[in-house]
Structure 1
Amino acid sequence: MSSVSSASELKPKRPWTSYVWDTWDKPPEERRFLFKLDCCLLTYAALSYFSKYLDQQNITNAYVSGMKEDLNLVGNDLNYITTAWTCGYVIGQIPSNMLITRVRPSIWASLIPAMELIWSAFTMILATTKNFSSVVALRFFVGLAESTFYPAIQYVIGSWYKGDELAKRACIFHTASAIGPMFSGFLQTGAYNGLNGVHGLPGWKWLFIIDGLITVPIALLGFLIMPDLPSNTKPSIFYTEEQLRIANERMEKIGRKPPTHYTKAKVIGFFKTWHLYTLVPLYVLFNNGSYPSQSMIFWFKSFTVEEQGRAFSIAQINTYPLGQNVMQIITTLVYAWWSDAMQLRWPPMLFAGCWNMSVAIALAATPVYTHIGTRWALYYMTSVSGGLSGLILAWANELTGNDSEKRSFVVACCNTFAYVFQAWLPIVLIPQVEQPRVLKGNISCAVIMVGMMSFAMLTLYLSRRDEKRAAAGRSAAEEDSASINEARKESLDKSVTGLPL
C-alpha cells in the first residue's frame, strides 16, 4: 500500500456539517472560544470595513449627484481626486503593519478606531468644500487615516484562525467592501430626494455628513472589542485562560509563529524567498483588474434624451449599479466555502480570472448604446473577481505563517503596492474623458486577468515545491535518526555481552 493511501486512511473523515460551518465538528470549549472570537473580531472588522468603503465610495456617488456641476469639475478631475486618496492610503500601510508586530494590537488598534474618528471628521468636512483643490487635500487625509486598517486586520485574522477557517473569515469580512458602496448608493438617493436643499446644502454634501456620522459609533466599538494576538492576549471578560491556551495550541499545531524580534538578517530575509515576488504581483493584478465595473455608473450618467433617446434620474444612476455589489457578495461567499472545503486557494482565482477576462473582452466588443440589455448584464458580471482579496491574503498568511514579521510585511506589501498602481493606472487605462467606452481599459483588464492567473499558478508551483522539499528533509532526518538509534543500540548490545567494540 502506498504512503499516500495510508495517509489518507489515517486522516479522519470530516462530517458534512463541518463544511457548512467549520466549528460544528470541534470540541465544545474550542467552539465556544471561536464563537466569542467571531463575535468580537469579525463584527468589528466588518463594520469598520463597511464604514471605510462607505467613505471611499461616496466621492463617486457625490460626483454624479451634483458635485461635478457645483464645483465646476472638468476632464479627469475625479481621477485626480481618487488618486489623492490612494496616495494617502499607500503611505501609511507598511509602517502600520510593521508596528503591529512590535506593540500589542489593542494598543496599535486603539489608533485604528482613533483613525476612524479622524477619517469620519475629514469626510464630514468635505461637505464644506468649495473647489477642486480642497477636495483633493481632504481626500488625501481620508486615505492616510484609513491606511491603518485593512492590512492590520488581515494580519490579526491570520493570527487566530486555522486553514479550514481562514478563507471564510477573511471573505465574510471582505463582503463589507461590497455592502458599503451599496449602502452609499441608497444613501445618496435618500439624501438627494429627502435632504437636497435643506439648510441650503445640496444632497451630495449631506451624503458626506451622514457617512461621517455613521462611522463614529463603529469607531467607539473598536476601542472595546478589538483583540490582541493569541500570544499576548490576557484573560478578560472576553476570553478565559483556558480559551487562550486553546488559541495558542491551535496556532502552534499549524506552525503559525508569534512575533519575535526584528534583526537586519531577518529583514533582508524577507527579500530572499519567493513569497514577496509572487504574492504581491498576484494581489496587484487582482486589485487592478476590475476597472470595467467602475464604468457602469458613468454609462448611466452619459445617457441623454437628445443623443440616446432616454435619460436616467439621479436616483436611478446611484441605485441601478448596485447589482454589481450583490454579485460580488454572492461570489465572495461561494469562493470562501469552496476554498476552505477543498483547502485550496487557487481554483476560485482561475475561475474568476477566466470569467472577468471573458466579460472584459465582451464589453470591448459590445456597442455602448445599441445593446443596452447586453451591456447592462455584462457590467453586473464584472465584479466576480472582487471577492478574491480575502483568499489571496489568506494564502499569504498561510504561506508565510512560520515568520510573523515576514507575514505582516508581505500582507502589507500586497495591499500597498496594489494601491501604488491604483494611484496612476486608472488615469492611463480608464481616463474620465473616455468613460463609459474605455476600450483600452477593457482590453487591458483581460490582459491583467491572464497575468493574475499566471501568478496564481506560479505561487501554487513554488508552494508545492517547498512542501516536497520539506517532506524530503523530514524523511532524511527520520532516516538519520533511525540510523543513529540503531548504531547506539548495537553499541549497547556489544557492551552488555562483553564483546570488543
Structure 2
Amino acid sequence: MNTSYLVAFSVMQLPLSIIGLKIRPSIWLFSCEIGWTVFTFAQAGARTSTHMYLFRFMVGLFESAFSPVIIFLLGSWYTKPELAKRTSIWLLTGFLGEACSGFMQAAIYDTLDGRNGLAGWRWMYIVCGIMSVPSAFLCLFLLPDYPSNTRAWYLTEEDKRLALQRNANVGRAEISETLDWKTFKPVLCSWRIYTLVVAYIWYGSSCQANNYFAIYLKSEGYSVTMRNILPALANIASAVSSFLYGLASDATRNRFWWILCPLVFVQWPGNAILAIWPSSPAVRMAGFCWCSDAFWYAAAVYWTWANEICAGNAEERALTIAAMNGFFYFFNAGIPNAIFLQTDGPSFRKGFPTTWAFGILAAVFVVLVQGLHNRGGSNVKRGRW
C-alpha cells in the first residue's frame, strides 16, 4: 500500500509541477488538496486490499504537486538572507504534523477503536479527511501565487513592485510566457538538474532509519501507544533542529557546509551504529535517534541551495526541485523492498549498511555540486548573491 502511494507520488511530481507553472498555485494546490481529501475519506471505507491500493495511489497522485510547488513558490519571493529560514519553517510544519499524527493515532487507537463498529484505522482516515478540508480553502485564500501574477488581498501594489524588484536584484528569472521544447532543452543539457537530483537521492536515502524505528520498538516489547509516541518525539526534535539549521544557514549565507557537515558528523556515525548493530539496546536506541535526524536535518537547506543555484532559469528551478523530490521517492518506493525486508527486521543486515553507504555517496555528490558551482556553473545571470 505504501509502494502504491509512493509510485504515484514520485512519478507525478514533474508533470504536476509543470502545470503549477501555468496555473496559479492557490487554485492548483486547492484543487489537488480537494482531490486527496476525497480519497482520504475513501480509504476509511475500503473493503479489500485492492481498494486500498487504488485509493493510496490516488492520494499520492494528488499530493505529489504540493511539496515542489510550495518550495518553488518560496524561492520566488525570498532572497538569500531569508530563504532557508522560510523553507525550514515550512518543513517544520511537516515535522510537527508527523509528530501530531503519532499522538493522534495513539489517541484514536485508545478512544475510537470499535466506536460505531469502525476500526481505529478507519477513524484515522475520517479525522484526517475532516482536517484536510479547511486546509484546502486556506490554500485558495492565502497563497500569494507568484510575484508576477499575485492577486493576494493582503499585498499592496507597492508590495508587488518591491517583490519584482527584489527578484531582479538577485538575478532571479520569472516564468516564461510559453512552455515548449526550447524552454526545457537548456534544462536537460545542464549539469545542475542531474547532479542536484542524484545528490538528493543519496542524501534522502541515507535518512531512512526512522522509518524502521517503530519496528525496532515493537521487537523490544514497547506498547502500541509508545510505538507511535517515541517516533513522534523524534520528529519534534527534528523540527527544532531543522529550524535552527535554516537560521544558521541564512545568517552565514552558506548552504554547502550546512549540508555536508550533517552527513559527515551525524548520518555517517548514526548509520554506522545501526550497520554494526551493537548488543546494547541503549546504543541501538541512540543510533536510531541520531541517524533519524533527531538532532540535525538539512533538507530545507538543500532545497534552498537548489532554488539559488537554478535562480537564473525559472523552469529549470521548478523542474529541478520536482525531480529531486520525485526521483528520491521513486527510488525509495523500490529500494526498501529489496534491502529492508520485514523478515530481516529489526536489525536489517542489508538495509542499515546500505543507508550508511548512501550517506557517503551523498557527501561525494554534494562536494561535486559545490565544485561545479564554484567553477562558474551557476545560471544566475546577474545580481548580488
TM surpasses 0.5: yes
Structure-2 residue corresponding to 1:280:
197
Of all paired residues, the percent bearing the same amino acid is 28
Question: Relative contact order, CA 8 A, sep 6+: which one is greater?
Answer: 2
Q: CA 1:463 to 1:214, structure 2 compared with 1: closer, same or farther past 3 Å?
A: same
Say yes or no: does 1:99 pair with 2:19. Answer: yes
Structure-1 residue corresponding to 2:267:
356
Structure-1 residue corresponding to 2:175:
259
Asked if 2 retains the 8 angstrom alpha-carbon contact of 1:116 and 1:219, the reply is: yes
2:380, 2:275 → 1: CA distance?
46
* Residue 142 (structure 1) aligned to one of 50, 53, 59: 59
Asked if 2 retains the 8 angstrom alpha-carbon contact of 1:279 and 1:392, the reply is: no
1:127, 1:171 → 2: CA distance?
32
Asked if 1 retains the 8 angstrom alpha-carbon contact of 2:311 and 2:379, the reply is: no
Q: CA 1:115 to 1:211, structure 2 compared with 1: closer, same or farther past 3 Å?
A: same
* Residue 291 (structure 2) aligned to one of 382, 389, 393: 382
CA RMSD of aligned residues (A): 2.1
Structure-1 residue corresponding to 2:127:
210
2:135, 2:27 → 1: CA distance?
13
* Residue 324 (structure 1) aligned to one of 234, 246, 249: 234
Asked if 2 retains the 8 angstrom alpha-carbon contact of 1:275 and 1:400, the reply is: yes
- Structure 1 stretches of 4+ moved >6 Å: 467-471
Q: CA 1:469 to 1:185, structure 2 compared with 1: closer, same or farther past 3 Å?
A: closer
Secondary structure, aligned partner of 2:82: helix
2:370, 2:112 → 1: CA distance?
52
Cα deviation per residue 1:172-229 (whole Å; 9 max; x = unaligned)?
Answer: 1011221122111111111111111110112222111111111111111111111121
1:118, 1:278 → 2: CA distance?
33
Following TM superposition, by how much is the alpha carbon of 1:237 offset from its aligned partner in structure 2, in angstroms?
Answer: 3.0
After TM superposition, list the pairs within 5 Å mapping 1:127-166 onto structure 2: 127-166=44-83
1:406, 1:470 → 2: CA distance?
11
Structure-1 residue corresponding to 2:370:
460
Say yes or no: does 1:373 pair with 2:293. Answer: no
Structure-2 residue corresponding to 1:449:
359
Structure-1 residue corresponding to 2:87:
170
Q: CA 1:263 to 1:199, structure 2 compared with 1: closer, same or farther past 3 Å?
A: closer
1:169, 1:451 → 2: CA distance?
28
Secondary structure, aligned partner of 1:164: coil
Asked if 1 retains the 8 angstrom alpha-carbon contact of 2:68 and 2:322, the reply is: yes
Asked if 1 retains the 8 angstrom alpha-carbon contact of 2:214 and 2:228, the reply is: yes
Q: CA 1:468 to 1:319, structure 2 compared with 1: closer, same or farther past 3 Å?
A: closer
Following TM superposition, by how much is the alpha carbon of 1:117 offset from its aligned partner in structure 2, in angstroms?
Answer: 2.1
1:196, 1:100 → 2: CA distance?
40
Asked if 2 retains the 8 angstrom alpha-carbon contact of 1:174 and 1:387, the reply is: no
Letter in 1 for 2:261: F
Cα deviation per residue 1:452-476 (whole Å; 9 max; x = unaligned)?
Answer: 11111111111111079999x99xx
Structure-2 residue corresponding to 1:484:
none
Secondary structure, aligned partner of 2:22: coil
Asked if 2 retains the 8 angstrom alpha-carbon contact of 1:327 and 1:383, the reply is: no
Letter in 1 for 2:243: L
Following TM superposition, by how much is the alpha carbon of 1:263 offset from its aligned partner in structure 2, in angstroms?
Answer: 4.2
Q: CA 1:198 to 1:400, structure 2 compared with 1: closer, same or farther past 3 Å?
A: same
The number of equivalent residue pairs is 380
Cα deviation per residue 1:260-297 (whole Å; 9 max; x = unaligned)?
Answer: 23343332211222101211111111221122211110
2:16, 2:125 → 1: CA distance?
26
Structure 2 gaps of 5+ residues are none
Q: TM-score, normalised by structure 1?
A: 0.72
Q: TM-score, normalised by structure 2?
A: 0.93
Q: CA 1:386 to 1:434, structure 2 compared with 1: closer, same or farther past 3 Å?
A: farther
Following TM superposition, by how much is the alpha carbon of 1:398 offset from its aligned partner in structure 2, in angstroms?
Answer: 0.8
